[in-house]
Amino acid sequence: MFVKMSLSTVLVLFTLGACALPFALDFWGPAPPSDVTETVESLLTQEGTPASPVSTTASPASDRIVNPTSTLTLMLPGVAATEIAPVSEDGAASRNTLTYEPLYIPQIGSPVWLPNFAYPELGCHWMGVAGQVLSWDDLPIRNLIIEVGGFLEGSEVLKIGLTGLASIYGPGGYEIILADHSADSRQTMWIQIHNLAGEDLSDKLYFDTFADCERNLILINFVQAKAFLKEFLPLLFNQP
């Protein structure tokens, strides 16, 4: 009886052990993966300060903020750096005074004072400035703006003409009427050439006027700046 009970006990214990085995294995087995993102410590430190943890999960590009600490200057070989003009408080860049070589200069002998031959019927009831603009090889140049300004008998004068419209003075001729009578002035009147964009092509040339019927036409011709070289270096310009 004792032996039989012992076998029963053994069978019961074995059965209980077999049923409990899966739970024991499940409990002690590896834990399921966690949804928490792992982080890693950076092995590098800057200036002795430990690095902050860096997430291994990629972040969207819009979340990445780059803080530049210096300005990158790109230098090309053989190209010198260009200094940018400082901007003033009103937003305009400061500029140095520019100098230029005039494209047109007065022809040698200009100006010349003559009696008005274009309108002989007007006689002394006319005063003006006229002439033409020529290239360095004496070809007429049309469609240049001629501006005349200054003061005449205490009044301000500002008038505009165009080359090529007054053929009586030549194919590149211009004419600007100053007054309906002759008058005296001393270096208060000036003339200047511009292109159609309004850019200066010559310096201002100041001239005199006279209260004289025999000198009421001021004839001023302009030539390209290279024309004066033609007078002194003829071989240079006549080479084939």
The Cα–Cα gap between 176 and 84 comes to 43
Mean pLDDT by 10 residues, the chain (240 residues): 49 48 40 43 42 44 41 38 40 41 94 96 96 95 98 97 97 97 98 97 98 98 75 48
- Tokens standing for 21? 């085995």
Domain boundaries, the chain: 104-117+125-226
Please compute Rg for the chain using Cα positions.
48
The Cα–Cα gap between 133 and 3 comes to 142
Bridge-based pairing of strands 127-134 and 173-179 is: antiparallel
* Fold held by 104-117+125-226: Immunoglobulin-like (2.60.40)
The Cα–Cα gap between 229 and 140 comes to 18
pLDDT at 232: 52
Helix (H), strand (E) at residue 205: strand 205-209
pLDDT at 50: 45
pLDDT at 101: 78
Q: What is the pTM of this model?
A: 0.55
pLDDT at 227: 46
CA dist 137 → 1, 56, 230 (Å): 146, 79, 9
